[in-house]
Amino acid sequence: MRHLLSAGDLSLDEATLVLDTAKELAQVGGRSVKKLPTLRGRTVVNLFYEDSTRTRISFEAAAKRMSADVINFSAKGSSVSKGESLKDTALTLQAMGADGVVIRHGASGAARRLSNWVDGAVLNAGDGTHEHPTQALLDAYTMRERMGRLDGLRVAIVGDILHSRVARSNVLLLRTLGAHVTLVAPPTLLPVSVAGWPCEVSYDLDEVLPKSDVVMMLRVQAERMNDAFFPSAREYTRRYGLDGDRFAQLPEHAVVMHPGPMIRGMEISAEVADSPRSTIVEQVTNGVSVRMAVLYLLLGGSESGIGN
């Protein structure tokens, strides 16, 4: 495999290789000198057309820890129409000889399109409402670390599934890794296509929580909504928010995840977010190791590619 465009492109062996490689590379984060020479002389471009805190910083830290040269390109505010500007930018990157391009874009399919225009590896860091494969990999890594396994794990993903690339990538990857996913959302926040996804669907959070090992809360993506998808924020929180009372319905071993950014008091209470059974901060730490692994496997040389 030359690119990482969709979590669904990864076989069980490839996904496991990423997680195992990330585990080895995680040791670098614990050293006082957090640097490996592995990607010296390689250039990684971060091409971000959409806002991002964690993902962008994480990819930058990952590339730098492997000694790659990093170029950050923030395209926000560009007045050129999206399709044109993406192709023009791709040609520029191609001319500069980028070995890897990390792209976040508001249009679903943008990463795949870019991969037709550049020779380097394309890493999808979120394309519209479509996919966010490195988020799914870091989530799987975090689950494996906390729970000791992925096979047979019961994972509830709760909230704005309709607009969530995180949910879609997680459903695809977790299915490959043998976990069972239940999506929980109001009917208006589920895509019509969900009937064909390899997971179950419920509208009732209270019914699903006692049967879950992992509960992943998602932000309501107001920036992608131009209609009212639910009566009010308070009503949403009452039915789909994770507060202390609902948290108490989870099995004792269960953990709570969130990809960030979270809206405290909306989909998750501060009490739950800051609980020792919340993995939110660990997810950020693990994100760097997982992105190091993906960069290493895609750019690290002919003998190390994912699949090749």
Token pair in block for residue 227: 């209609």
The answer to whether 34 is annotated as binding is: no
132 binds ligand NCD (CB under 6 A): yes
Report the residue from 126, 133, 186, 241 that binds ligand NCD according to the rule CB under 6 A: 126
Asked if 219 touches ligand NCD (CB under 6 A), the answer is yes
Residue nearest to ligand NCD (CB): 219
Size of the site for ligand NCD (CB under 6 A): 12
Give 121's strand partners: 100
135 binds ligand NCD (CB under 6 A): yes
Contacting residues for 143 by C-beta, under 8 A, at least 6 apart: 150, 153, 155, 179, 214, 255, 257
CA–CA separation, 290 and 120 (whole Å): 19
Q: Is 132 annotated as a binding residue?
A: yes
Three-state SS string across 1-51, please?
Answer: CCCECCHHHCCHHHHHHHHHHHHHHHHHHCCCCCCCCCCCCCEEEEEECCC
Interface with ligand NCD by CB under 6 A: which range of 78-86, 178-186, 227-235, 258-266? 258-266
DSSP for residue 97: T
Does residue 100 belong to the site contacting ligand NCD (CB under 6 A)? no
Select 57 or 147, whichever has its Cβ closest to ligand NCD: 57
Nearer to ligand NCD, 38 or 135 (CB): 135
Is residue 91 within 8 A of residue 45, CB to CB? The reply is: no
Question: 217: which 2 tokens?
Answer: 């809360």
Q: For residue 200, what are the contacts with CB-CB under 8 A and spacing of at least 6?
A: 180, 181, 182, 183
Q: Report, in Å, the least distance between residue 110 CB and ligand NCD.
A: 13
Least distance to ligand NCD from the beta carbon of 286, Å?
12
Q: How far is the CB of 208 from ligand NCD (least distance, A)?
A: 20
If the CB atoms of residues 180 and 219 are measured against ligand NCD, the closer one turns out to be 219
Type of residue found at 248: A
Range in contact with ligand NCD (rule: CB under 6 A) among 70-78, 201-209, 225-233, 254-262? 254-262
Cβ neighbors of 3 (< 8 A, separation 6 or more) are 111, 115, 121, 122, 123, 124, 298
Question: Does the footprint of ligand NCD cover residue 260 (CB under 6 A)?
Answer: yes
- Strand bridging mode 214-217 / 154-158: parallel
Q: For ligand NCD, which is the closer residue by CB, 42 or 262? A: 262
Q: Is 68 in the site for ligand NCD (CB under 6 A)?
A: no
The 3-state secondary structure of 119-168 reads CCEEEEEEECCCECHHHHHHHHHHHHHHHCCCCCCEEEEECCCCCCHHHH
> 39, 111, 161, 166: which one contacts ligand NCD (CB under 6 A)?
166
Task: Give the interface with ligand NCD as residue ranges (CB under 6 A).
Answer: 54-55, 126, 132, 135, 165-166, 219, 221, 259-261
Annotated binding-site members for carbamoyl phosphate: 54-55, 104, 132, 135, 260-261
